[in-house]
Amino acid sequence: MPIIPIGESGRWTNYHGTGVCEDAVRFGLRSGDAPRGRDEIGLAAAAVREWLEKARVAGKRVRPLGAGWSPSNVNICSDAWLLHTRRFNRCFRIAADDVRPGVDASGLMLVEAGALVDEVSDKLEQQGRSLWTSGAGNGQTFAGAAATGTHGSMVTRGGIQDHIRAVQLVTPAGVHWIEPAAGVMSDAFVAATGSTPVRDDDVFAAAQLPVGALGIVPALVVDSVPKFLVRPIQNLRKVECAALDWLAAGDFRRFSKAYALDRDPDFVQMIVNPYKPFKRPAMLRFLYAEPWRANYDQATPGQLGAGYDALSLLGRLLDDYPWARGALLQFAMKMGYAAGPDVDDPPVHGTWGEGLDTHRPLADLFNASVTIDRADLPHVFELICGVYTRHGGSTAVTLRFMERAQGLLAPARFTHNAVIDFDGPRSARTAEAYARVVELLDREGVAFTRHWAKSCHLDAARVAADYGEDLQRWRAARDRLIPDPAHRAIFGSAVLDGLGLTG
Amino acid sequence: MMWIGWGLAALLLALLVGQYLAGQGDIFVSIANPRPLDEESMVVTLKYWGFAAEARQPFVTPEADHGLCDLRVYTTRRQMLVAIATLGLIRPVTVAWRAHAGIQPLGEA
């Protein structure tokens, strides 16, 4: 039996400690030892469907839980049955005869829903392949990261959900195998997973980013690119205001030439102190992709510049001593930034997976973001920093860049996106300052969206306004997968209901 | 002589405060490539300066068949104050751990 009860009913706290499920009954979905992946996920899907039926009969809501990473509490539901998927974490190579004619199977891998981004990276790299983007951390499950549109700052790529080519989804009404209309996996393969094929572009685009409201995802088919190396450059530099124009225009080469190497960067990230963002040094991170070679100068994640979470350590000081916030934040940035190699240091290289790290839970974390059209950056960035600091925002402000991401509910919905993150210690003042940033953007008439997994305080009206017709298409896909409103309610929670995704 | 007494008192107080603060530090042991499950914790109470130990619940975790991923030993402020107030006779310590999810070999779909 792939589903087992875990412990007794009680409290469950999410990874970053931002939410608690009271009276939670916990279950674990476990990998088996079936020789073929299709058989294993078929057994698991049948067990999940049976479990859903038991929950329905018991009158309980359910919540699938991966690493429990999202601070937005989309993973929180009290008086519910929780299904932990972390022990359902096998990955399987896909053969040429598993896919439909014309589909290249060499980059595809079948991934069980509990596999972490780190595990997916490792398994792809074993096969000479790689993810092409991901978030800054690798401790989320791949399915969970995709379900919330997690992203990094690869300037020509979208979100992590862009890797998905097929999704197995279980609802009380059935087990669905969802692909784009053109199809990916062979009919025989899909049949062996015990699933009913749904080949439809809209349903697939909904399932790429389901926000946990479309059912339970036991497995995914993930695409990849040939393994590559990245050379990081990480430094502290005073950035001139005019650089925002270069970034807004997508002239990342010019930005890189000014502050790092005279090459096209693949990844650009800038962390600024919002108190005088152009007078105090910003923390810059560039990655330059290079072809894979076996004899590279391998480095640890720390040497590759993974992580900058030590910023949260000075949270209380920042909140208690408002007059010293600017200086304290700069000190924290200097001390907390992983010492990455600068331009004049000996170059180090790593694979995409080696440059990521799993950080410890960030107690008292505040993290929120706004995603804007990159072209709006010069117009609003200083205004954002100004209003954020005036109202006591006590986090660094991070700028990331990405292209439009796949999925109907992808927050990165502009052709070229700039994502402005407010990540750091939690405090009432910082939350208030972020709310003022949102008001500012509304007042200025700047279109923006917010991250599903962060503490952005979205509501149904705002989601409807932000996503418009795409939300209607997502709901139509949801109703097709889960036609019975009573079944939809099983996947609800206070947070998801509040977002208008489960009604 | 008076100032020697005050000096000794200050030294003892400093020693006590130092123990109070240091006792709240984390002792964290992690393996290189973590695949953690949820964190579980229990309180172990050392009695009579370590001559006896008692856990409030038995050391069992439901999913540890792949071993532990990491382990943290720490004392909360309250636990440290209890230890100081009882002259170390009772010394509660929190042990928190995360079980390992296991590393599965790459299979065939």
User: In percent, how much of chain A has pLDDT > 90?
Assistant: 71
Which CATH fold would you assign to the domain A3-226+472-498? 3.30.465
Using a CB-CB distance cutoff of 8 angstroms, which residues of chain B are in contact with residue A123?
Answer: 106
- Measured between alpha carbons, how far apart are the two ends of chain A, in Å? 32
Domain count, chain B: 1
Tens of pLDDT along A288-310? 999 999 988 877 776 776 654 44
Average the pLDDT over each of A244-253, A328-337, A344-353, A435-444 and give the range with the smallest value: A328-337
pLDDT on residue A258: 97
Q: Quick check: A251 pLDDT over 50?
A: yes
Of the two residues A170 and A273, the one the predictor is more confident about is A170
CA distance A47 to A56: 14
In sign, the C-alpha dihedral spanning A303, A309, A313, A318 is positive
Adjacent-strand bridge partners of A197: A177
Using a CB-CB distance cutoff of 8 angstroms, which residues of chain B are in contact with residue A63?
Answer: none
Write out the H or E segment, with its range, that includes residue A190.
helix A187-192
Range A238-250 average pLDDT:
96
The answer to whether the beta carbons of residues A134 and A181 sit under 8 Å apart is no
Of B33, B102, B107, the CB nearest to A87: B102
Range A162-180 average pLDDT:
97
In a domain, B107, yes or no: no
Strand order in the sheet with B52-55: B27-30, B68-74, B90-100, B36-47, B52-55
pLDDT on residue B37: 87
Closest CA to B75 of B8, B24, B6, B20: B24
Closest CA to A392 of A274, A279, A312: A274
Residue of B nearest to A221 (CA): B109
Residue of B nearest to A354 (CA): B33
Interface confidence: ipTM more than 0.85 = no
- Contact between B37 and A84 using a beta-carbon 8 Å cutoff: yes
CA distance A29 to B104: 15
Of the two residues A301 and A490, the one the predictor is more confident about is A490
Average the pLDDT over each of A186-190, A285-289, B87-91 and give the range with the smallest value: B87-91
- Contact between B108 and A127 using a beta-carbon 8 Å cutoff: no
Using a CB-CB distance cutoff of 8 angstroms, which residues of chain A are in contact with residue B63?
Answer: 6, 28, 87
Q: Do β-strands A80-84 and A61-65 pair in parallel, antiparallel, or remain unpaired? A: parallel
- Contact between B108 and A6 using a beta-carbon 8 Å cutoff: no
CA distance A96 to A481: 29
Of B38, B101, B109, the CB nearest to A93: B109
- The domain of B50 spans 2-100
Q: Name the pLDDT band for B21 (thresholds 50, 70, 90).
A: confident
Which CATH code fits A228-351+364-449?
3.40.462.10
Residue of B nearest to A220 (CA): B109
Tens of pLDDT along A82-139? 999 999 999 999 999 999 999 999 999 999 999 999 999 999 999 999 999 998 778 8
Distance of residue B1 Cα from the nearest chain A Cα, in angstroms: 41
Window A:82-141, CB contacts with B under 8 Å: 84, 86-87, 89-95, 98, 110, 114, 116, 118-119, 123, 126-127, 139
Residue of B nearest to A124 (CA): B106
Range B7-18 average pLDDT:
90
> CB of B106 within 8 Å of any CB in chain A?
yes
Tens of pLDDT along A398-426? 999 999 999 999 999 999 999 999 987 77
- Contact between B101 and A87 using a beta-carbon 8 Å cutoff: yes
Range A484-497 average pLDDT:
94
- Contact between A89 and B104 using a beta-carbon 8 Å cutoff: yes
- Can you give A248-275 as a three-state secondary structure string? HCCCHHHHHHHHCCCCCCCEEEEEECCC
pLDDT on residue A461: 94
Of the two residues A335 and A135, the one the predictor is more confident about is A135
The full set of domain ranges for chain A reads: 3-226+472-498, 228-351+364-449
The answer to whether the beta carbons of residues A333 and A273 sit under 8 Å apart is yes
- Contact between B107 and A92 using a beta-carbon 8 Å cutoff: yes
* Average pLDDT for chain A: 90
Distance of residue A288 Cα from the nearest chain B Cα, in angstroms: 25
Q: Quick check: A50 pLDDT over 70?
A: yes
pLDDT on residue A308: 40
> CB of B88 within 8 Å of any CB in chain A?
no
Q: Quick check: A477 pLDDT over 70?
A: yes
Write the single-letter amino acid at B73.
Answer: V
Tens of pLDDT along A339-365? 678 888 888 888 888 777 666 655 567
- Contact between B35 and A110 using a beta-carbon 8 Å cutoff: no
Q: Name the pLDDT band for A8 (thresholds 50, 70, 90).
A: confident
- Alpha helices (H) in A283-409, listed in sequence order: 315-320, 325-336, 377-390
CA distance A453 to A365: 13
- Contact between B102 and A94 using a beta-carbon 8 Å cutoff: no
pLDDT on residue A315: 54
Phi, psi for A353 (deg, rounded to 5):
-70, -35
Of the two residues A213 and B88, the one the predictor is more confident about is A213
Using a CB-CB distance cutoff of 8 angstroms, which residues of chain B are in contact with residue A93?
Answer: 106-109
Range A316-320 average pLDDT:
59
Residues 6+ apart with CB under 8 A from A176: A168, A169, A170, A195, A196, A197, A198, A215, A481
pLDDT on residue A312: 45
Q: Give the HSE-up count for residue A381: Cα atoms under 13 Å, Cβ half-sphere.
A: 30
Q: Quick check: A313 pLDDT over 50?
A: no
Range A456-461 average pLDDT:
88
